Structure 1
Amino acid sequence: MFPKKALRHVPAVVAGLLAGALVLSACSSDDGGSPTQGIPGAAQNNQQGNGGAPAQPINLTIAPAGGKNVNPATPIVVKASNGKLVDVTVKNKVKGTVVKGETAADGLSWTSSEPLGYGATYTVTAHAQPMGGGDAVEKTAELTTLQPDKLANPNMIPAPSSVKSTGIGVGQPIVFQFSYPVQNKAAVEKQLKVESSPEQEGGWYWIDDKNVHYRPKEYWQANTTIKVTAKVYGVDFGNGVFGSEDREETYKVHDAWVAKADGNTHKMKIYKNGDLVKTMDISLGKGSTPTHVGPHVISDKHEDYVMDSCTYGVCKGDPNYYRSHEKWSQRISNDGEFVHENPNSVSAQGNTNVSHGCINLNGENAQWAYQHLGIGDVVEVTNSGGPKLPLWDLYGDWELSWSAWQQGSAIK
């Protein structure tokens, strides 16, 4: 340090050099506060492309945050700022299995691509590197998914495998039957989707707490392809019940078969794609046990079937009780109505209604109907003297007008 008096005699050039040295000293840092300290190459990076500004520290975030009672259907998302992801590993802590995921093209995020399990703990480990290179940083987290009290299966009717080779008829509703009651119907219904080709208007109706049906405004068009999706895994059904799995199934509608049974003429006319192909003599239900009026849908078929009225509450001791073997039987309601052969009523077929509610045919006609009609085909009954087929009576869906059907949706 020069004495103050001597400094006044220093040549101007030397004084200028001293002043420059003081300025350089003031711009340096010796307190260890640089944000890039300890990152190799950071000082060099500060001078490239950012005008000398200090590099920002890498920030890694892992979501969902909290780590407890995580919904297993919620994707895990890892994001990096001021750096790019090198790798992300999500591992089941007990099983050791690794969850699949994908890193975005820009390297700034990673998202899991498969659901987690219920009641499981996962460890998340992420590494990211500074934009300009250097040592990677690490962040870890642990999360546990929720454990439901019960899991509801989304069972489908008809079972897709049972109609894969035959297809379904134009009257067949799409049915989800859940294994536990659904309290949060709107939340579940929002995850159910039906796509038809060609496109047709349709909607859902909750028959009860376990059963929801989908039908189009009119009968399905012949040869329609129906794609059904249920994204219910992780959905809260209410009362501690959650969806057990997602489902995606495809149905194919076959030709349009509609049978029209008239209680006044005692004839049943059968149409294929709108063309009349067969007319049969029939006998409907007698006055004390009339056949339900309105559209019915074939739900089951048996070449040889034991019909027992006790299955729907009419048991021994009741004058209307019966138990008999019948051939070529096709169920059209759950309370005992079938289209089937009845050799005992052949003399009445074509002129009198004498059955317990079924549509009786002779052997030849019953076999023909059995071989040509199938699951989902329609049998429309008129002039039977009976009440309308109840909505719940598998399937009374077509008894409702379209506006009334729409009221059965839980989404308002």
Structure 2
Amino acid sequence: MARRYFRVVVALCLFAVALLAAACGTDEAPAAPPATVSLASPAKKVNPTDEILVRATGGDLATVTVSNGKGEKVDGVSTEGGAAWHTTEDLGYGAEYTVAADAVNNDGKHTRKTFTVATIDPVDTAYANVVPAPEVVADQGIGVGQPMVFQFTKPVTDRAAVEKRLKVTTTPNQPGAWYWTDNQNVHYRAKDYWKPGTKIHIEANIYGVDLGDGIYGAEDTAVDYTVHDSWVAKADGSTELLTVFHNGEQVKQMPMSLGEPSTPSHVGPHVVSERLDSVVMDSCTFGVCAGDPDYYKETVHKNLRISNDGEFVHAAPWSTGQQGSSNVSHGCVNLSDENAQWMFDHFNIGDVVEITNSGGPELPVWDTYGDWAVPWKTWKAGNADQ
């Protein structure tokens, strides 16, 4: 992360005084007086991202060491022709550092001084995890609908301060904006789906940043993604057909069944967040348990998760008679075994399933990736101050 401008300054002043009057019948000037050393620190405890700067006046620095309580040294570099030295790595939280400086004046006289510098001790620290995890998509990349996501391990109350420390670089350039889905999740997307082949680099430079209420960023995070081919499936409840487009060209159409009137599928763009070969779907997880006429518990195959409230694209051999003609599911996109296998083979994390004419409500922004349902004007304006 960029180093902060504020610095802890250790100043070593070395004075050379020439006396004009002769002493004891000799022309030799007396030796320079001992150097004086002072520490200028405007804060009792400093931020661990602040540099410790050591400076000599009237001479050069021979050696400088900064070490923690374990004796581990902090890296630093000499500057200004040897007259200054500063740390080049961050310090730790809640720690004390010993600064030992040795300066030499023009007469070769050494001045040695030791100081102690303490860093702030946060109430707690929080990480900014990335979703999806890079290792999950390392081989196939991400789909065109995948938002960039930082998921904080603690609530963020100073969103504005944190958002200033987030960075996204896209190649080719596709300007986007951040939007908070809650106090622990912030998403980034462009106006439209990513272009296939886009390289995306994201950073959360939050170390040393107060996230609010005395909780500080535990470490900086940086991740790279690559966008794979465009895969978009359009599920139209008025025709009961799922039409698939690869890089904008229609490649397949298949009959399907969406949610029945009592449990309609959400409308709007959905994004695949998980691929599961088999899932036990149990209605008791949302309160419909054994004894209820609507209770079900089934092992379901070839699942593409498209929302966190239980919507999947999956195999449903029990509803093949209704697929293409009526909505009978509990909110999922039902397909035959063969068609579900085809979708499972071709769709990956970040690919898009757009649902229309289902009779259901819009997918909420907080439900995994309801990002694309938010109008661009609203998204671009952001909500860090809310």
User: Same fold judged by TM-score > 0.5?
Assistant: yes
Aligned runs of 1:184-263 on 2, under 5 Å?
A: 184-263=158-237
CA distance in 1, matches of 2:30, 2:230: 77
For 2:382 and 2:290, locate their aligned partners in 1 and report how far apart those are by CA, in whole Å.
38
- Provide the rounded CA distance (Å) in 1 between the counterparts of 2:291 and 2:77: 69
Q: Provide the rounded CA distance (Å) in 2 between the counterparts of 1:404 and 1:313.
A: 35
The one-letter amino acid of 2:167's match is: K
1:403 maps to: 377
Shift in alpha-carbon separation, 1:257–1:103, aligned structure 2, 3 A: same
> What is the rounded CA distance, in whole Å, between the counterparts of 1:118 and 1:309 in structure 2?
47
Q: Distance in 2 between matches of 1:82 and 1:320?
A: 86
Query: Is residue 2:277 matched to residue 1:303?
Result: yes
* Structure 2 CA distance for aligned equivalents of residues 77 and 271 of structure 1: 59
- Secondary structure of the corresponding residue to residue 110 of structure 1: strand
Q: Kindly tell me: are residues 411 and 129 of structure 1, through their superposed partners in 2, closer, same or farther at Cα, counting changes over 3 Å?
A: farther
Is 1:102 aligned to 2:102, yes or no? no
Query: What code does the residue aligned with 2:368 have?
Result: L
Please report how far the alpha carbon of residue 88 of structure 1 lies from its aligned counterpart in structure 2 after TM superposition.
1.2
Rounded Cα–Cα distance in structure 2 between residues aligned with 1:220 and 1:356? 31
Distance 1:313-1:171 versus aligned 2 partners, 3 A rule? farther
2-structure distance, mates of 1:62, 1:227: 40
CA distance in 2, matches of 1:84, 1:409: 51
Contact 2:171 2:199 in 1 (8 A): yes
Aligned to 1:111: 86
CA distance in 1, matches of 2:76, 2:20: 46
**1:369 deviation in Å?**
0.5
- Give the AA of the match of 1:39: A
SS class of match (1:76): strand
State the 1:58 CA deviation: 6.7
For residues 307 and 139 of structure 1, the distance between their equivalents in structure 2, rounded to whole angstroms, comes to 69
- 1:38 correspondence with 2:31: yes
What is the deviation of 1:163?
1.0
- Tell me, yes or no, if the aligned pair for 1:232 and 1:245 is still in contact at 8 Å: yes
1:293-339 CA deviation, whole Å, 9 max, x = no partner? 11000011111111123334444455443221111001101111100
- Identity, in percent, stands at 52
Contact 2:100 2:114 in 1 (8 A): yes
Q: Which runs of 5+ in 1 are unaligned?
A: 1-25, 41-56
Residue 164 of structure 1 and its aligned partner are, at CA, apart by 1.1
Of 168-177 and 306-315, the range deviating more from structure 2: 306-315
Structure index of larger Rg: 1
Listed as ranges, the matches of 1:32-181 within 5 Å are 37-39=30-32, 65-66=41-42, 68-92=44-68, 94-104=69-79, 106-130=81-105, 132=106, 134-181=108-155
Worse overlay, 141-150 or 324-333: 141-150
* Distance (Å, rounded) in 2 between the aligned partners of 1:226 and 1:373: 20
Render the CA deviation track for 1:188-217: whole Å, top value 9, x for unaligned.
Answer: 111111111111111111111111111112
Flag the 1:198–1:142 CA change in 2: closer, same or farther, 3 A. same
- For residue 145 of structure 1, report the CA deviation from its aligned partner: 1.2
Partner of 2:324: 350
More helix, by proportion: 1
Secondary structure of 2:47's match? coil
Secondary structure of the residue aligned to 1:106 is: helix
Instruction: Quote how far apart the aligned CAs of 1:411 are.
Output: 6.4
Deviations 1:139-159 (Å, cap 9, x if unpaired)?
321011111121111111111
The secondary structure found in structure 2 opposite 1:389 is: coil
RMSD: 2.2
Task: Give ranges in structure 2 of 5+ residues lacking alignment.
Answer: 1-18
| Mapped contact 1:67–1:142 kept (Cα < 8 A) | no
Please name the residue that 1:16 is paired with. none
User: Residues 274 and 37 from structure 1, CA distance in 2 versus in 1: closer, same or farther, beyond 3 angstroms?
Assistant: farther
Q: State the shift of 1:373 in Å.
A: 0.3
The structural deviation recorded for 1:61 is 6.3
Partner of 1:365: 339
Structure-1 separation of matches of 2:221 and 2:161: 16
TM-score, L = length of structure 2: 0.88
**In 1, Cα distance between equivalents of 2:382 and 2:285:** 29
TM-score by length of 1: 0.83
Q: Name the CA shift for 1:220/1:62 in 2 (closer, same or farther; >3 Å).
A: farther
Amino acid at match of 1:217: K
SS at match of 2:161: helix
CA contact (8 A) 1:62 1:76 kept: no
C-alpha offsets along residues 217-241 of structure 1, whole Å, 9 cap, x if unaligned? Answer: 2111111111111111111112221
The letter of the residue matching 2:186 is V
